[in-house]
């Protein structure tokens, strides 16, 4: 259980009212391109014959669709966006923020919901068309080839990988039987790390021929043919001291 | 900030800023309107992530190294998972729900689950007004729906199902949770030695309480209660099984004993729900006594099978018979009928002949139960000009009602066939409704049997145009092969195929059966006939 974070309730105490505004994706993209200062546009709130009208106007420099700095005359993001205001309608919505430091604070209550809509004109339609074209493009493309591929899967006398393997084997040579004591030391140190080992892994660790290794293992360990650790070797109980790492005791009978 | 003066409108402009510093992530905390949450009343609140899902995702790690571990196990497990295509979803802290505790220990608790798909197609921004008048817009990172958590104890799914099964029997709902609390106490106390003793006591109390509760509502109810008892017992089985059994076993034993005596059928939950009860009427246009007998049946279909009718009528037959006879006019048929009746009763043959009492009984019942009272269709009288007029009159003319209700074509066709084949049989033209196959009370039945005894046999053999003939041989064959009820036999000789009307089929079949005198046995509460040869 992590510690509970005290929620900073100052926002609510002051009854700060905020607006929850739904903004189209392209507009939020443009806002991301804003400068450091962060100014993106102007909000005009007016009262016309008793009705409140809210209108957002995007800044000039942010209307370009392309990357910042470019002036793409062909397609521009619309500038005028009237807001449609809705009431919250009984649902209680609050805004809380949490920082990277883990502080949580309640910023305020939502008093109005709004939707930012663009003014529909030809420019906007073109923009939308472009968007749709982008999204309808399939992610995967099937392409027909003119010629059959002949560069891979050629018949080979011997594969590269195989050749390398054989060379390695030759150079390393057969595994030589080391001294019994040496091998035992190796085994015991290995079994200190883990309890169960596959014979292949042991061969890998000790670099001993399998028969020799098996002989030694039969002396000091047992083979699990069934159970959770199937087909693995483990040390005999008298050799096991898994609570304490005492090598001398393990080696006593060796 | 500029303010423009307009004539009828006043507008003010504000700059909108989208701050670039993103140290704080804004989220929406949405409550359900029904919960009536007022954030301003909160004095203190704590919130944290609900990490209970972590243990589901993160698998139990076996001891790394030394005892119990295998060399290369991790890699092998991973390879195995990849091979089988098992994709394990990662545990993302960001997506975990929030737990909000308001006003300390005694206050409310909420769980906030993240709502998906919020930022996919449109972005939400929070517009707040700064002291300098400009608006600041913050993007919403996530939307969490907060729902209140129940502080009272609830039943688990298994317990809830159990209780649902007993919903019709349990009246005292408070005891449900009381029981559960006792159970939990026992489980907890079981661990201490001392606790055990008190647990016993408590359990007995609970058991007695449970016994009381059970006995409250059940006098002689079915065994389903036993099942629920035992399941309740199993509920606390974890450690207290033996003890529980002693407590509840009493109840169970009692139950079982009572049930042994009764030998009632086990009824499942919900058996009684859709039960329709036929309305019992003591009045009738005619034949009151038979109706009484009938009314006890309730809920049965009105066209009874011959066997059902005869069996049911068994008891009432005698008394009814007398009454009927008293009502009946004297006729040849009557004379013949009574011995026939007696015979039939003894033999338990079913047939249309079996009785006017039967017939009228059924007719009476159906008449009263289904049709309007006192329908005396003229057709009926006209149709059966022969004797038994009072009887025919007494029967509220169900056949004619039937004929009215059945399709004319069927009747016409049947009557044509009959007329063509059985001209000697007299005015037996009416074909009853398709429904009223079996127990067609017709004055015809006595008529042919009374007047011309050889008729039924001839009636059987003459209409032999169709595939299936209603002959003695056929019936014999069927009965030898396997035991059948009268219903089954009738099904074999369908009216359309034999060319006989259903009344006639019934009569003829009855005659055949009388002659064959098959053996009877009761299978599934139904009387089956069979022959052994």
CA angle B351–B355–B360, rounded 5-degree value: 115
- The answer to whether the beta carbons of residues B531 and B476 sit under 8 Å apart is yes
- For residues A238 and A251, the answer to whether their CB atoms sit within 8 Å is no
Q: How many residue pairs from chains A and B have C-beta atoms closer than 8 A?
A: 195
B243 in Cβ contact with B202 (< 8 Å): no
Pull the structure tokens for residue A55: 């209108």
Count CB atoms within 10 A of the CB of residue B276. 7
Judge whether residue A22 has pLDDT over 90: yes
The answer to whether B237 and B244 have CB atoms below 8 angstroms apart is yes
- What average pLDDT does range B201-211 have in this prediction? 43
CA–CA dist B345, B314 (Å, integer): 7
Query: Which stretches of B395-501 are DSSP H helices?
Result: 398-405, 408-421, 446-451, 455-461, 472-481, 486-492, 495-498
Q: What values do phi and psi take at B274, rounded to 5? A: -95, 20
CB contact under 8 A, B31 and A92: yes
Question: What average pLDDT score do residues A66-79 get?
Answer: 65
Residue A241 pLDDT level (bands cut at 50, 70, 90) = confident
Q: What is the mean pLDDT of residues B246-250?
A: 44
For the four alpha carbons of A205, A211, A216 and A221, in that order, the dihedral sign comes to positive
Mind telling me how many Å the CA of A178 is from chain B's nearest CA? Answer: 23
Rounded CA gap, A240 and A254, in Å? 13
Residue A235 has pLDDT above 60, yes or no: yes
Nearest CB among B24, B71, B126 relative to A18 is that of B126
Residues of A with Cβ-Cβ distance to B71 under 8 angstroms: 190, 193-194, 196-198, 201
pLDDT at B330 over 60: no
Closest CA to A95 of A172, A31, A14, A156: A14
How far does CA A105 lie from the centroid of its chain?
A: 28
Q: Please, is A212 exposed, middle or buried when counting C-beta atoms within 10 Å of its C-beta (0-12, 13-18, 19+)?
A: middle
pLDDT tens readout for residues B472-506: 888 888 888 888 888 888 888 877 777 778 788 88
Interchain contact B16–A (C-beta under 8 A): yes
Asked if residues B273 and B451 have their Cβ atoms less than 8 Å apart, the reply is no
Provide the β-strand partners of residue B519.
B530
- In angstroms, the separation between the Cα of residue B11 and the nearest Cα of chain A is 4
- Residue B149 CB contacts under 8 Å (≥ 6 apart), including other chains: B108, B109, B110, B111
A156 or B293: which carries more pLDDT confidence?
A: A156
> Which range scores top for mean pLDDT: B148-162, B179-193, B224-238?
B148-162
CA Rg value for chain B? 41
Instruction: Find how far residue A152's CA is from the centre of its chain.
Output: 33
Q: For B428-452, write each residue's pLDDT tens digit.
A: 444 444 444 444 444 444 444 444 4
How many H helices and E strands in chain A?
Answer: 8, 10
B280 — pLDDT class (breaks 50, 70, 90): low
pLDDT higher at B277 or A27: A27
Q: How many C-beta atoms lie closer than 10 Å to residue B409's C-beta?
A: 8
CA distance A119 to chain B (A): 17
DSSP H or E run through B123: strand B122-129
- Judge whether B516 and B465 are in contact, CB under 8 Å: no
pTM to 2 decimals?
A: 0.48
pLDDT of residue A72: 53
- Give the whole-angstrom CA distance, residue A93 versus residue A20: 9
Choose the weakest-confidence range: B69-73, B106-110, B392-396: B392-396
Q: What is d(CA A28, CA B121) in angstroms, rounded to the nearest whole number? A: 11
B94: helix, coil or strand?
helix
**Rounded Cα distance, B429 and A254, in Å:** 113
SS3 (DSSP) at B385: coil
Range among A59-68, B2-11, B63-72 with highest mean pLDDT value: A59-68
When pLDDT is averaged across residues B175-187 and rounded to a whole number, the result is 85
Determine the pLDDT at residue B260.
Answer: 52
CB-CB neighbors (< 8 A) of A12 in chain B = 39-40, 42
Backbone φ and ψ of A100, nearest 5° = -65, -25
Residue pLDDT, tens place only, B29-57: 999 888 888 888 888 888 988 888 877 66
Average pLDDT of the residues in A167-175: 80
User: Which distant-in-sequence residues (6+ apart) come within 8 Å of B232 by Cβ?
Assistant: B162, B179, B210, B248
Question: For chain B, what percent of residues have pLDDT higher than 70?
Answer: 45
CA distance A252 to B304: 96
Residue B53 in contact with residue B96, Cβ under 8 Å? Answer: yes
**How high is the pLDDT of residue A113?**
92
Are A41 and A56 spatial neighbours (Cβ–Cβ below 8 Å)?
yes
Distance from CA of A248 to the nearest CA of B (A): 17
Triad A89, A95, A99: Cα angle to 5°: 170
ipTM of this complex = 0.70
Mean pLDDT of B354-362: 47
What pLDDT digit, counting tens, does each position of B497-508 carry? 777 787 888 888
Which residue's structure tokens are 């100052």?
A10
pLDDT confidence of residue B314: 52
Contact with chain B for residue A195, Cβ under 8 A: yes
| Chain B residues inside the 8 Å CB shell of A197 | 70-71
d(CA B13, CA A43): 5
From chain A, the residues in CB contact with B20 under 8 A are: 34, 36, 38
């Amino acid at each position: 259980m992590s510690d509970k974070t005290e929620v900073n309730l100052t926002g609510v105490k002051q009854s700060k009212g905020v607006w929850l505004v739904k903004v189209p994706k392209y507009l939020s993209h443009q806002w991301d391109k804003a400068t450091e200062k962060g100014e993106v546009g102007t909000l005009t709130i007016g009262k016309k014959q008793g009705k409140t009208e809210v209108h957002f106007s995007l800044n000039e420099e942010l209307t370009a669709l392309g990357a910042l700095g470019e002036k793409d005359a062909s397609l521009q993001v619309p500038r005028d966006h009237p807001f449609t205001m809705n009431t919250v309608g009984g649902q209680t919505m609050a805004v809380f923020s949490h920082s990277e430091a883990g502080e949580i604070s309640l910023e305020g209550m939502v008093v109005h919901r709004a939707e930012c809509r663009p003014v529909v004109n030809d420019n906007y339609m073109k923009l939308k068309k472009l968007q749709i074209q982008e999204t309808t493009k399939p992610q995967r493309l099937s392409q027909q080839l003119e010629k059959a591929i002949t560069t891979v899967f050629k018949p080979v006398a011997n594969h590269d990988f195989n050749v390398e393997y054989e060379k390695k084997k030759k150079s390393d040579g057969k595994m030589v039987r080391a001294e019994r004591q040496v091998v035992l030391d190796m085994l015991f140190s290995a079994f200190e790390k883990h309890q169960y080992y596959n014979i292949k892994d042991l061969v890998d660790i000790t670099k001993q021929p399998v028969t020799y290794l098996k002989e030694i293992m039969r002396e000091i360990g047992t083979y699990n043919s069934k159970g959770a650790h199937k087909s693995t070797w483990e040390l005999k109980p008298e050799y096991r001291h898994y609570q304490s790492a005492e090598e001398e005791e393990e080696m006593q009978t060796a | 900030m500029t303010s423009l003066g307009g004539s009828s409108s006043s507008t003010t402009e504000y700059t909108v800023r989208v701050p670039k510093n993103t140290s704080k992530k804004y989220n929406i905390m949405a409550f359900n309107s029904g919960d009536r949450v007022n954030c301003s009343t909160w004095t203190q609140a704590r919130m944290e992530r609900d990490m209970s899902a972590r243990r589901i995702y993160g698998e139990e790690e076996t001891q790394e190294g030394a005892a119990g571990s295998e060399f290369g196990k991790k890699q092998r497990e991973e390879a195995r998972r990849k091979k089988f295509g098992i994709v394990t979803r990662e545990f993302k802290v960001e997506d975990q729900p929030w737990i909000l505790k308001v006003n300390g220990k005694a206050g409310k608790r909420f769980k906030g689950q993240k709502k998906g798909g919020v930022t996919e197609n449109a972005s939400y921004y929070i517009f707040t007004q700064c002291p300098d008048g400009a608006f600041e817009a913050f993007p919403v990172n996530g939307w969490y729906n907060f729902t209140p958590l129940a502080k009272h104890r609830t039943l688990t799914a298994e317990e809830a199902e159990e209780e649902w099964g007993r919903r019709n029997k349990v009246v005292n709902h408070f005891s449900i949770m009381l029981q559960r609390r006792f159970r939990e106490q026992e489980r907890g106390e079981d661990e201490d030695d001392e606790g055990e003793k008190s647990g016993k006591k408590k359990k007995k109390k609970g058991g007695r309480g449970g016994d009381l509760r059970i006995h409250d509502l059940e006098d002689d109810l079915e065994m389903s209660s036993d099942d629920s008892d035992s399941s309740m017992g199993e509920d606390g089985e974890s450690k207290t099984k033996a003890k529980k059994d002693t407590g509840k076993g009493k109840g169970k034993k009692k139950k079982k004993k009572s049930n042994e005596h009764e030998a009632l059928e086990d009824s499942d939950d919900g058996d009684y729900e859709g039960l329709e009860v036929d309305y019992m009427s003591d009045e009738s246009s005619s034949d009151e006594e038979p109706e009484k007998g009938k009314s006890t049946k309730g809920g049965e279909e009105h066209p009874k099978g011959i066997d059902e009718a005869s069996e049911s009528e068994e008891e009432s037959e005698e008394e009814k018979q007398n009454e009927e006879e008293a009502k009946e006019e004297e006729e040849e048929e009557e004379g013949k009928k009574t011995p026939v009746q007696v015979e039939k009763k003894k033999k338990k043959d079913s047939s249309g002949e079996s009785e006017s009492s039967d017939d009228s009984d059924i007719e009476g019942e159906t008449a009263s139960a289904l049709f309007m009272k006192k329908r005396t269709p003229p057709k009926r009288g006209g149709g059966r000009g022969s004797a038994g007029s009072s009887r025919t009159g007494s029967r509220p003319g169900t056949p004619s009602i039937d004929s009215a209700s059945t399709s004319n074509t069927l009747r016409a066709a049947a009557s044509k066939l009959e007329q063509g084949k059985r001209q000697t049989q007299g005015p037996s033209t009416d074909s009853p409704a398709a429904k009223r196959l079996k127990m067609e009370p017709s004055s015809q039945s006595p008529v042919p049997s009374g007047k011309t005894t050889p008729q039924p046999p001839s009636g059987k053999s003459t209409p032999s145009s169709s595939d299936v003939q209603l002959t003695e041989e056929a019936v014999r064959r069927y009965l030898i092969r396997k035991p059948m009820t009268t219903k089954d036999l009738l099904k074999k000789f369908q009216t359309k195929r034999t060319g006989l009307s259903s009344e006639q089929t019934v009569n003829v079949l009855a005659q055949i059966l009388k002659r064959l005198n098959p053996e009877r046995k009761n299978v599934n509460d139904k009387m089956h006939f069979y022959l052994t040869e």
